[in-house]
Amino acid sequence: MVKVLMFGWEFPPMNTGGLGTACYGLTNALARNGVEITFVLPYAEASSEVPFMRLIPLRGITFHPINSLLGPYLTTQSYLRRYQKLGMPLMYGESLFIEVARYAEAAAKIAAIEQFDIIHCHDWMTFGAGMEAKRVSGKPLIIHVHATEFDRTASDHVNQAIYDAERRGMHEADHIIAVSEYTRKRIIERYGIPPEKVTAVHNAVEFTSVPATYTIARDDKIVLFLGRITVQKGPDYFIYAAKKVLDYDPHVKFIIAGTGDMEQFIIEKAAEMGIADRVLFAGFLRGGQIDEAYRLADVFVMPSVSEPFGITPLEAMRNGTPVIISKTSGVSEVLHHALKVDFWDVDDIANKIIGILHYRTLHHELKEHGSMEVRSFTWDVPAGKCIGIYRRFI
């Protein structure tokens, strides 16, 4: 049996994005295929967040908390706000990078007492922890890149310190797993990593929690955006396309589900364009609310500027919802029954939305063929690829 010491920074129900969903699906499938996992997560005892013991339990996985303020999608500024909000407790680092280093020191202590064959780290905040665990144990280090700093900023204007941390982790790792060929190429080109050191392993989607049928009475046509409302995800292009659709058909409603630093801008832009009464901001959704939103929608749109993979289209197709996805996404490499657009081409996005809403044959074809296609995206496939990588280094 392969034993893995895994480091992450979010897991359901405390997740706020795709990484938590991916960690749940992957670890569940790894455990189902005979891998024993000790999953290490930051957990701030000083905060009022969801108690650590309410994490979704999985057979074959032991959760190990580290008392830390690290959390999903933190920036240097958001970490500082979090630190100050809690009254600047002495147990935590005064900056994001000090806290990352403190987390790595705690990881070394865990690695010294746990029994494992390999180390598996998810994204940059855990790379230091993985390197310390490798130093203490001498075990191979695999890092899993779900997004790079170039994706998070959707530009070349990156936080140099985060880029440096990513680059160091990638060079120190024995092997790198990228969530798509798109991300693999970025790692090779932007971080100077030899191609043979990086393997693309696409994400998947869970099916077990989805009821077989669901109906809801409605007259309006619904178009859904679900994701973090931040520059990487392209919510501004979604709202600009919405305006063009509404100029053609004023009976369409647009739902924006999620939170993020662009939320106020998008709210104000909807008001400025005179479409505020047709745009609903649903906030952050969890659990069954997510599937309910997909089933409510006639079309799901993911106009991401830079999307390493993108699990949300798979979730939408799982619920029988036609999808429009950005060409600059990893998931576009593997999906065939989806309409693909350039994120910046709001005319094309609007035309494709109108096409799906008004041509029932197109809607039916995308729904039926998409539902069949997505059933091949099980987490056992990427889990098997990860196990194959593990065995190369054990």
pLDDT single digits (tens) 101-136: 999 999 999 999 999 999 999 999 999 999 999 999
Average pLDDT over residues 198-205: 96
Domain that holds residue 38: 3-204+378-393
What DSSP designation does 199 have?
E
Q: Is there a single domain that holds both residue 247 and residue 363? A: yes
Task: From 386, 368, 388, select the one nearest 22 (Cα to Cα).
Answer: 386
Q: Is there a single domain that holds both residue 158 and residue 291? A: no
**What percentage of the chain carries pLDDT values higher than 70?**
93
With respect to residue 214, please indicate whether it lies within any of the assigned structural domains: no
Q: What is the dihedral of CA 127, 128, 134, 136, to 10 degrees?
A: -160
Average pLDDT over residues 248-262: 94
Kindly report the average pLDDT of the chain as a whole number.
91
Is the peptide bond prior to 13 cis by the omega test (within 30 degrees of 0)? yes
What pLDDT does residue 170 have? 98
With respect to residue 59, please indicate whether it lies within any of the assigned structural domains: yes
Q: Is there a single domain that holds both residue 196 and residue 259? A: no
Q: Is there a single domain that holds both residue 360 and residue 385? A: no
With respect to residue 216, please indicate whether it lies within any of the assigned structural domains: no
Q: Is there a single domain that holds both residue 273 and residue 382? A: no
What is the count of structural domains for the chain? 2
Task: From 337, 341, 322, 325, select the one nearest 377 (Cα to Cα).
Answer: 337
38 contacts 151 by C-beta, under 8 angstroms: no
Q: Is there a single domain that holds both residue 200 and residue 343? A: no
Kindly list the distances between the CA atom of residue 263 and the CA atoms of 259, 297, 363, in Å, as whole numbers in the listed order. 6, 21, 30
Per-residue model confidence as pLDDT tens digits over 1-33: 899 999 998 887 767 778 888 999 999 999 999
Per-residue model confidence as pLDDT tens digits over 35-80: 999 999 988 766 555 444 456 667 889 999 899 989 888 889 999 9
Give φ, ψ of 325 to 5 degrees. Answer: -130, 155
Residues 179, 205: Cα–Cα separation, whole Å:
13
What pLDDT does residue 211 have? 44
Q: What 3-state DSSP class applies to 304?
A: coil
Q: Is there a single domain that holds both residue 239 and residue 185? A: no
Residues 297, 320: Cα–Cα separation, whole Å:
9
190 contacts 249 by C-beta, under 8 angstroms: no
Band of pLDDT at residue 317, cut at 50, 70 and 90:
very high
Q: Taking 90 as the threshold, does the pLDDT of residue 391 lie above it? A: yes
What pLDDT does residue 210 have? 44
Q: Is there a single domain that holds both residue 152 and residue 291? A: no
Its sign, for the CA torsion 312, 346, 178, 108, is: negative
With respect to residue 213, please indicate whether it lies within any of the assigned structural domains: no
Q: Is there a single domain that holds both residue 165 and residue 102? A: yes
What pLDDT does residue 54 have? 57
With respect to residue 284, please indicate whether it lies within any of the assigned structural domains: yes
Q: Taking 80 as the threshold, does the pLDDT of residue 245 lie above it? A: yes
Residue with the larger pLDDT of the pair 312 and 218 = 312
Tokens of 387: 């196990």
Kindly list the distances between the CA atom of residue 12 and the CA atoms of 24, 121, 201, 267, in Å, as whole numbers in the listed order. 7, 17, 21, 28
Residues 315, 38: Cα–Cα separation, whole Å:
27
Per-residue model confidence as pLDDT tens digits over 333-361: 999 999 999 999 999 999 999 999 999 99
**CATH number for the domain harbouring residue 87:** 3.40.50.2000
What pLDDT does residue 88 have? 83
With respect to residue 362, please indicate whether it lies within any of the assigned structural domains: yes
Residue with the larger pLDDT of the pair 65 and 98 = 98
With respect to residue 163, please indicate whether it lies within any of the assigned structural domains: yes
Per-residue model confidence as pLDDT tens digits over 161-175: 999 999 999 999 999
Tokens 């129900």 belong to residue: 13
Q: Is there a single domain that holds both residue 169 and residue 23? A: yes
